[in-house]
Amino acid sequence: MRKIAIALSKGGVGKTTTAVNLAAGLARQSRSVLLVDVDTQGQVSRALGCNPTTGLAEVVAGEATVEQAALLARDHLWLLGGGRSLAGLKRQITRKDFGGEQTLAEGLSGADSRYDFVILDTAPGWDALSINVLFYAEEVLAPVSLEVMTLQSLMEFRRSLESIQRYRQELALRYVLPTFFDRRVKKSGEILALLESHYPQQYCAPIRYSVRLSEAPGYGQAIFEYAPGSSGAQDYQALTERILNDGQA
């Protein structure tokens, strides 16, 4: 089983879009996927047109198993909802005297091996929940919108990641995914080249700017459902294949 966190401290870089469409892409290839929303905004559920009544908070509180709380959103795709109830979970974590950073990993340990992939969407910022995600996941995929500000966020995020890697050698920044790529914007191409040279192994083919990608969540659909012929569908399909080709599942 591969555990991939979609993370970067900056908001609006395409984390949720990537979590939803990568999970949908993997499920379309018949992999069992558990998509976990670790954001209090609950956007992952809406993007898939779902309205789960239980989710991650109930699992971590021990009120439900992953199996009971996860909703079958599509063939092979199970959703563990986030949303406002996560605020309580965050308080619970910060109240612990020790071991708080392991809370989510302990809660999700029952899910191990049942799924080929666990994909975790995270909130912007750096808080108790994001730290918990990084004590559970083994691979990090960082979406990087092609702006100078986002490059700075990536550097900061790497430093924060390193502080956790000291305790968890198995945690690796595996993928750097350029997003909002627009070849008409000169700066966009320059930043792309920079990312490719700095992250030769992690670098993924970019996700192009696509209006369809921004419309799909409003219809509760993954890009493969909403606009299967769009550049967004092509780009997320390429990402899916890249991650599958890296093996293990």
Ligand X SMILES: Nc1ncnc2c1ncn2[C@@H]1O[C@H](COP(=O)(O)OP(=O)(O)O)[C@@H](O)[C@H]1O
Q: Given 3-state DSSP classes, what are the helix, strand and coil percentages for the chain, each rounded to the nearest 5?
A: 45, 20, 35
Residues 203-242 that bind ligand X (CB under 6 A): 207, 209-210, 213-214, 217
Determine the Cα–Cα distance for residues 17 and 117; give it in Å rounded to an integer.
Answer: 17
Among 13, 33, 141, 192, binds ligand X (CB under 6 A): 13
Q: How far is the CB of 30 from ligand X (least distance, A)?
A: 25
Stretch near ligand X under the rule CB under 6 A, chosen from 15-23, 26-34, 74-82, 84-92? 15-23
Q: Which two tokens stand for residue 133?
A: 């995600």
Determine the Cα–Cα distance for residues 72 and 24; give it in Å rounded to an integer.
Answer: 12
9 lies in the binding site for ligand X (CB under 6 A): no
Residues 35-94 that bind ligand X (CB under 6 A): none
Nearer Cβ to ligand X (58/222): 222
Q: How far is the CB of 204 from ligand X (least distance, A)?
A: 13
Please give the order of strands across the beta sheet that includes 139-145. Answer: 71-74, 77-80, 33-38, 117-122, 2-6, 139-145, 172-179
Q: How far is the CB of 198 from ligand X (least distance, A)?
A: 21
Exposed, middle or buried, 202 (CB in 10 Å: 0-12/13-18/19+)? middle
Binding site residues, ligand X, CB under 6 A: 11-17, 124, 179-180, 207, 209-210, 213-214, 217
